[in-house]
Amino acid sequence: MIPFILVRVTAYAIAAVAATLILGTISERLIRFDEATTVLMFGLVIGAINAFIKPVVKVVTLPITCLTFGIFALVVNTVLFYAGAMVTPGIELSLWGAIFGSMLTSAGSGLIFSVIDG
């Protein structure tokens, strides 16, 4: 049986790679990357951030997320996506790229989780 955390990292990584490639295809102003290995490394970084750091940040920011009716969760996702881009060399990301990338990654990972959990 595959550990649950490995499934989470893989799902987030696949969703982040897909979001990066989609946004990079739409416009280079949103996200720019050097080569394919950079995108794969970025996917693994985002997968690790979303699997290990995001649950802790969500618990800490729960009160403000409740006060804003969940809108602050978008801010948390955007900041974590941008932090992943700052850690990964070869990725350049704009503010709108971080916003759309975090939304696409969340939607993609949610879709993957719904198929896996079935």
pLDDT tens track, the chain, 118 positions: 568 888 888 999 999 999 999 999 999 899 999 899 999 999 999 999 998 999 999 999 999 999 999 999 999 999 999 999 999 999 999 999 999 999 999 999 999 988 887 5
Q: What is the pLDDT of residue 85?
A: 95
Q: Does pTM top 0.75 for this prediction? A: yes
Contact by Cβ (8 Å): 26, 33: no
Q: What is the pLDDT of residue 3?
A: 81
Q: What is the pLDDT of residue 17?
A: 95
Provide the b/e sequence for 45-81 (b: ≥16 CB within 10 Å). bbbbbbbeebeeeeeeeeeebeeeeeebbeebbbebb
65-69-72 Cα angle (round to 5) = 40
**Domain residues of the chain, as ranges?**
4-107
